[in-house]
Amino acid sequence: MTAPLTTPSQTVGPFFAVPGALPWPDGPYVVPGGTPGAIRITGRVLDGAGEPVPDALVETWQADPDGGLGHPDDPRALAITGGRPFRGFGRCATDPDGRYWILTAKPGPLPTPDGRVEAPHLDVSVFARGLLQRLVTRIYFPDETAANAQDPVLSEIADHDVRATLIARAEGDGLRFDIHLQGPDETAFFAV
Amino acid sequence: MSAKSTTTAPHPAGGFELPSYPRDDSSHPIMGFTGYVGTRLRTPEQPLRPLPQWLTEVTGPAFGHERVGEMDADLTRQHAGQPLGERIVVSGRVLETDGRPVPNTLVEVWQANAAGRYVHAGDRHPAPIDPNFSGAGRCVTDAEGNYRFVTIKPGAYPWLNHHNAWRPAHIHFSLFGRAFTQRLITQMYFPGDPLFDQDPIFNSVRDERAQRRLISRFDLATTVPEWALSYRFDIVLRGADATPFEDEEDDH
């Protein structure tokens, strides 16, 4: 039997926010409001001219604070979580200023199959009109200097300024993570 | 946050295997496809960096029936009256590249109404809004990966990409699959659409065989007699090379 080939990606387009579509009312809440220790991450999505992208969709996926993912393909899953108590997923459409936000908990560090340790991070997907495929990036935490220095993904990026685009910065009570789609401040994006 | 065992060390020292999802670049659009004006300021200029497929990448959220309301899979029954237009069934299977179904996965759709108009403040096409049609739906695949929507055939609509540009009729699809690597947003088109040749979004997929995988097929077998015509659209997500832990799906 010939294996089926994958269905191509297409742009999310400008109209994914019709009533009842992708922006869920609880989308930004990776953890419920009022969760002790919850962190608000906010930022703007900006285009190559530095203008806000008001029609982007930002999604995040992450481990729980103990590094659990509650997934059958995680060989540690049953030992750590015994199920799926943690949603792990955030989704927020940008507003007219290009701003998105999520409320989450800092994930734990994760082991790699070859015995190294990934610093706490969120995987991020960015969808927008004009993007024919999603863009993938990561959010790391500014108070994890030692862990970030050992992180095998960050360590692969030689340019300090590029590496810095992946690390959120403290702002007020929360964290700020801007996403520059293009230009001199372009965020590091990944092929996964 | 969540009660869980703390008896396991938080980061055991490796020694485990994870599934691997081969890349499928030949299926996908050229990111900065020049015919599509909207890409120009939004496409990164630097090459993408390889990201290993480790724990965060080979896992993903598991949204299911808890996110789906009673009327969500029938876009013709979400308001007091019937929407205008040609009533259709859109159904198919969500599969991986090895042909395995993707069960219990959330499928989200959105679309224009029969006149080619979205219920969205940004849509300036001077075509009527239908008070009986919002154009958004969701459902969850069954154990064999099947999904099914009832809706209205969307209309084509003009956009400002180039002179006299029109989008072929399409329905937007959003899929999670079982892993971050599989996340896919795409568009389903209808067979024989005369607008394909001038549409840069459709043509951003350069491989003709891949283009064909975006086009649904008319299917008499799944029509509802005296009620609705029917289109089939199977969606294939990146599959894992091998699943080292389980040979069979075993979702408890």
Q: What was the pLDDT predicted at A78?
A: 54
Q: How many domains does chain A have?
A: 1
Q: What was the pLDDT predicted at A84?
A: 54
Q: What is the pTM of this model?
A: 0.93
Q: SS3 of B66, please? A: helix
Q: Are B119 and B79 in contact (CB under 8 A)?
A: no
Residue A4 domain flag: no
Residue A143 domain flag: yes
Separation in Å, CA B9 to CA A110, A113, B1, B102, B244: 11, 15, 19, 32, 22
Q: What was the pLDDT predicted at B5?
A: 35
- Residue B157: active-site member: yes
A79 touches chain B (CB under 8 A): yes
Q: What was the pLDDT predicted at A4?
A: 72
The complex scores an ipTM of 0.96
Q: What was the pLDDT predicted at A178?
A: 98
The helix, strand and coil proportions of chain B, stated in percent and rounded to the nearest 5, come to 10, 25, 65
- Determine the Cα–Cα distance for residues B194 and B208; give it in Å rounded to an integer: 16
Q: What was the pLDDT predicted at A81?
A: 52
Q: Are B55 and A117 in contact (CB under 8 A)?
A: no
Residue A26 domain flag: no
- Residue B167: active-site member: yes
- Determine the Cα–Cα distance for residues B193 and A176; give it in Å rounded to an integer: 45
Instruction: List the catalytic residue out of B93, B167, B178, B189.
Output: B167
B120 touches chain A (CB under 8 A): yes
Q: Are A44 and A178 in contact (CB under 8 A)?
A: yes
Q: What was the pLDDT predicted at B112?
A: 98
Pairwise CB contact (< 8 Å): A8 & B211? yes
- Domain residues for the domain of A63 are 39-180
Residue of B nearest to A84 (CA): B62
Q: SS3 of A161, please? A: helix
Q: Tell me the CB-side half-sphere exposure of residue B88, using CA atoms within 13 A.
A: 22
Q: Are A136 and A125 in contact (CB under 8 A)?
A: yes
B199 touches chain A (CB under 8 A): no
- Determine the Cα–Cα distance for residues B111 and B152; give it in Å rounded to an integer: 9
Q: What was the pLDDT predicted at A76?
A: 85
Q: What is the pLDDT of residues A152-191, one digit of tens each?
A: 999 999 999 999 999 999 999 999 999 999 999 999 999 9
Q: SS3 of A153, please? A: coil
Q: Is A151 a residue whose pLDDT tops 80?
A: yes
- Determine the Cα–Cα distance for residues B62 and A72; give it in Å rounded to an integer: 11
For the domain that residue A131 is a member of, what is the CATH number?
2.60.130.10
Q: Which ranges in A23-170 belong to alpha helices (H)?
A: 77-80, 145-150, 160-164
Q: What is the least distance, in Å, from the CA of A131 to any CA of chain B?
A: 6
- Determine the Cα–Cα distance for residues A101 and A110; give it in Å rounded to an integer: 24
Positions of chain B with pLDDT lower than 50, given as ranges: 1-11, 243-252
- Residue B172: active-site member: yes
Please, what are the domains in chain B? 25-237 (2.60.130.10)
